């Protein structure tokens, strides 16, 4: 499970995710400088740290690197939510409390996601299997409730 990104790491990764392409230190620096005073070497260090932590991959381009996200912001958010949920001693109560904090827009997004998850999945044609996602996930059989 990833640790939450620090404030500056998040600011850098937000740009990497938003642009969805390999980026240079200079590009990130110039965009960050619209909001704050920051040095080239600071951005370079943050991107190097993100690379060492496995958040970005990099390719050499001349004397510089281009950095690209390894996963999406959605995957990052999902991992954080899963980690927080797994630390609870009462998963159902944690979910109820979480749902109670949601805005109407978030509730609608959750309902939309649940509809997608509950759709029958067919890979390579119709297998006739209309089982749930839990049936298709071997890990969900290991513990009650798929946890």
Q: Identify the helix (H) or strand (E) that includes residue 60.
A: strand 56-61
Six token digits for residue 27: 């590009």
pLDDT value for 49: 97
| Alpha carbon distances (Å) from 129 to 115, 116, 119, 126 | 17, 16, 11, 8
Q: Identify the helix (H) or strand (E) that includes residue 67.
A: strand 64-69
Structural domains present in the chain: 7-69 (1.10.10.10)
Inform me whether the pLDDT recorded for 140 exceeds 80.
no
Cβ neighbors of 96 (< 8 A, separation 6 or more) are none
pLDDT value for 85: 86
Q: Is 44 exposed, middle or buried (0-12, 13-18, 19+ CB in 10 A)?
A: middle
Q: Is the pTM of this model over 0.85?
A: no
pLDDT in tens, 18-66: 999 999 999 999 999 999 999 999 999 999 999 999 999 999 999 999 9
Query: CB of 68 within 8 A of CB of 79?
Result: no
pLDDT in tens, 91-102: 899 889 988 999
Query: What is the average pLDDT across 72-88?
Result: 90
pLDDT value for 132: 42
Q: pLDDT higher for 117 or 134?
A: 117
Which of these, 101, 65, 64, 61, lies nearest to 81 by C-alpha position? 101
């Amino acid at each position: 499970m990833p640790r939450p990104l620090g404030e500056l790491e998040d600011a850098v990764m937000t740009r990497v995710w938003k642009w969805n392409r390999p980026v240079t230190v200079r590009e990130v620096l110039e965009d960050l400088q619209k909001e704050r005073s920051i040095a080239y070497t600071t951005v370079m260090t943050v991107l190097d740290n993100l690379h060492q932590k496995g958040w970005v991959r990099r390719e050499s381009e001349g004397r510089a690197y281009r950095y690209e996200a390894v996963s999406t912001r959605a995957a990052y958010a999902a991992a954080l939510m899963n980690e927080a949920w797994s630390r609870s001693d009462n998963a159902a109560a944690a979910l109820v409390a979480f749902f109670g904090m949601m805005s109407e827009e978030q509730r609608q997004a959750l309902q939309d996601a649940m509809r997608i998850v509950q759709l029958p999945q067919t890979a390579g044609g119709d297998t006739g299997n209309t089982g749930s996602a839990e049936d298709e996930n071997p890990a969900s059989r290991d513990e009650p409730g798929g946890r």
